[in-house]
Structure 1
Amino acid sequence: MLKTIPSILSPDLLKILMEMGHGDELVIGDGNFPAASMNDRVVRLDGHGADEVLKAILQLFPLDTYAENAFLMDTAAGDTVETPIWDVYEKICKEGDPAFKGFNRLERFAFYERSKKAYAIVATGETALYANIILKKGVVV
Structure 2
Amino acid sequence: MLKGIDPILSPDLLHALRSMGHGHEIAIVDANYPCDEDAHVIRLDGVLGTRILDAVLSVMPLELGDSQATCRMIVDGNPETELPIFGEFLEIVSKHAGPTSAMSAITPVEFKERAKSGFAIILSGDGRLYGNILLKKGVVPPVS
Runs of 4+ in 1 over 6 A off after TM superposition: none
Q: What is the alpha-carbon distance in structure 2 between the residues aligned to residue 91 and residue 54 of structure 1?
A: 11
CA, structure 1 residues 62+34, in 2 after alignment: closer, same or farther (shift >3 Å)? Answer: same
> How much has 1:33 moved relative to structure 2?
0.6
Matched, 1:106 2:106: yes
Alignment of 1:43-62 (within 5 A): 43-62=42-61
CA offset digits 1:68-126 (Å, max 9, x no partner): 30000110237xx8710111111111001238630111111111111111110000001
- Residues 87, 136 of structure 1: CA spacing in aligned structure 2 closer, same or farther, 3 A cutoff? same
Q: What letter matches 1:53 in structure 2?
A: I
Which residue of 1 is the match for residue 5 of structure 2?
5
Shift of 1:12: 0.3
Rounded to whole Å, the distance in 2 between the matches of 1:75 and 1:33 is 14
Q: Which amino acid aligns with 1:44?
A: R
Q: Could you tell me the percent identity over the aligned residues?
A: 38
Residues 73 and 94 of structure 1, relative CA distance in 2, 3 Å threshold: same
Q: How many residues align?
A: 138
Aligned-CA RMSD value: 1.7
Given the two structures, how large is their TM-score scaled by the length of structure 1?
0.92
Any idea what SS the aligned residue of 2:36 has? Answer: helix
Cα distance change, pair 100–133 in 1 and its aligned pair in 2 (3 A): farther
Amino acid in the other structure paired with 1:104: S
Structure 2 residue identity aligned to 1:60? V
Deviation of 1:36 after TM superposition, in Å, equals 2.1
Write the letter of the residue equivalent to 2:2: L
TM normalised by structure 2 equals 0.90
Name 2:124's counterpart in structure 1.
124
Larger mean Cα displacement after TM superposition, 95-104 or 40-49: 95-104
Q: Which residue of 1 aligns with 2:40?
A: 41
Which amino acid letter does the alignment assign opposite residue 89 of structure 2? Y
Stretch moving more, 67-76 or 91-100: 91-100
Unaligned runs of 5+ in 2: none
